[in-house]
Amino acid sequence: MSRFNTRKIAVMIIDALMLVSLGILVNLVLMWVDIYNNVTPDGSGFCLPWSTLTLVLGIEAMFCFFSLFVAGAYSFVWRLLSKRKYLACALGVTAGMMISVALLTFFDVRKFAEIPPLAFIIPHYLLTLCGTVTLRAVLKTAFLRFTEVGREESGERTLIVGAGRASMMLLSDIENAKNDPNNPSRNILPVGLVDDDRTKYGSKIKGVSVLGSTEDIPKLCEQYSISLIVFAIPSASEEERKEILSLCSQTKCKIKMVPYLSQLLFDDNHPQLLNQVKDINIEDLLGRDSISFDREVIREFIKDKTLMVTGGGGSIGSELVRQIANYNPKKIIIVDIYENNAYDIQQELLLEHGTDLDVVTLIASVRDYDKMDLIMRKYRPDVVFHAAAHKHVPLMETSPEEAVKNNIFGTYNMATLAEKYEVQKFIMISTDKAVNPTNVMGATKRCCEMIVQYKSQQGSKTEFVTTRFGNVLGSNGSVIPLFRRQIESGKPVTVTHPDIIRYFMTIPEAVSLVLQAGAMANGGEIFVLDMGDPVKITTLAENLIRMYGKVPYRDVEIKFTGLRPGEKLFEELLMNEEGLKSTANKKIFIGNQIAIDEEDLLKKLGTLKAAAEENDSEKTVEILSDIVPTFNHKVN
């Protein structure tokens, strides 16, 4: 009731005055008609006696108020009035009048007054209907003009989602930024806020009005020429965040976000929110909580150790290096065959950590056993993260022998050298495509898993571990960079099949899994991340298009190109025979070790190597199918 404020009461009073005034006006007109027709005011004409008029207007006012209130005529935000809401007001007046007439007709009111004739009821109803709707249209126009006075400032017109404490701090930061000519955020112009708490409608925070609810975001953005939306509800649940961001993505606005509460950085116990606002990422629309990890366990695992990362310049390898650098390692050895990527991560680490971090960057291929032997002998790493691999599914379908040389025998080389030099832990990065593979890349990674498990059976001092996860957003093999390039170049977004689904995780999550697995491992395990529900690729493409302020299928076409060779509609994370065991981290599970026939595996690997070195693609795939019984090679 405290929010049923003066403005709403004023509208009710105006409605009442208008209804009464129009009733008196109609009655006066009817009185003049009676006089013109020489009808005496004894109730036989059209004019109502004043006692009857008073009762009729009182009943009509009471029931019209009731029906308008039910229709929500007193809880609308003026600037959001639409045709549908005008219609609701009209229905409210109609219902109120009908109830009033029914009451006057069917109850014994003759004791008090005459029943009003249709000559009074119909014009009074029509005038009240038009007056109620017109009143709201006039008030809306006046309100918008009034609120726009003094808001002709230049800047990026911004709508803030959330009207809580975070928005208050954000607005304070924006106001302070205006006094700093070097602050790029000084050009932000807050136009309004939205919040689903109806009690906040019409209120102001730092002079900025709460314009409506989150459902009104698309309309408000169009009405107020909004170009930027800032999501400022750091405590929102993942489901709430996903739902609201979906509404935001229906607009043509840029979208930025205040981080989660757990991710906010505080300065003297006060977060500088404006500096922490970030661009929305596609992973914000995945609809699941971020994966949490025990950082202290990881720190103890890495601290004061020499760690080698093969494929250290790639998307996964470089993130591994970044995260390792934060846990005080003794030395990091980056190994990659592609010098540009290796150079980039080396320079990034130098810029970030300077001389405090001992980094060695080496250009070498895991396929070159002798070169890797020299490196291992010189640096004697305590832990090896093996991330080097060919991973583009279509390319490996056309060059299966290269996938075998690099993925399988590169892994075999590194696992053998890890055993030779008594590395404490060897952690191999695998993929969900290794489970019941339908493509060469997946089959080679399954073979790599078998090699790691075979080495684990040898009883060496090295603990051999496999980590398996799904698609990684933003990685070199992810669909997201391709989708972004297509949208930015104005080309159709290509999806292979409308029903194709995939499990997704972020690069930091994938890498944290690898580090946590390394800390937890005892040897022989396949660690699997619970990645929540799979995501439909078509939905992912649609959301990404909306994030660019465009409408899927209208502004950007989505073309379905058909499944590629070796591609399947859905991926799996575990093979049936592996089973599943929980760990201390509820998001990480362990697949049981599968016994490997060592003699048979080594014999077949020898045959496979010979076929690959002869560049015999057909024979290579044939032998690979023999090694990996679950490999169901589909040629589309």
The residues annotated as belonging to the active site are 433
Q: 8: part of which helix (H) or strand (E)?
A: helix 6-36
What angle (nearest 5°) sits at the alpha carbon of residue 558, between those of residues 556 and 559? 135
Q: 353: part of which helix (H) or strand (E)?
A: helix 339-353
Q: Residue 116 carries which DSSP code?
A: P
Cβ atoms 525, 516 nearer than 8 A: no
CA atoms of 619 and 633, how far apart (whole Å): 13
Burial class (CB in 10 A: 0-12, 13-18, 19+), 239: exposed
Q: 229: part of which helix (H) or strand (E)?
A: strand 228-231
Sign of CA dihedral 49, 55, 57, 59: negative
CB atoms within 10 A of CB 592: 14
In terms of Cα–Cα distance, which of 315, 283, 159 is closest to 232?
159
CA atoms of 375 and 176, how far apart (whole Å): 54
- 421-453 CB burial, b ≥16 within 10 A, e <16: bebbbbbbbbbbbbbbbbbbbbbbbbbbbbbbb
Structure tokens at 85: 């809401």
- Beta bridge partners, 359, equal 332
Cβ atoms 376, 426 nearer than 8 A: no
Instruction: Please give the distance of CA 497 from its chain centroid, rounded to a whole number.
Output: 22
Residues 6+ apart with CB under 8 A from 353: 325
CA atoms of 333 and 310, how far apart (whole Å): 8
Rg (CA), the chain: 35
Helical segments of 75-191, H only: 83-106, 118-148, 165-177
Q: For the chain, what is the total number of helices (H) and then of strands (E)?
A: 21, 24
Cβ atoms 387, 410 nearer than 8 A: no
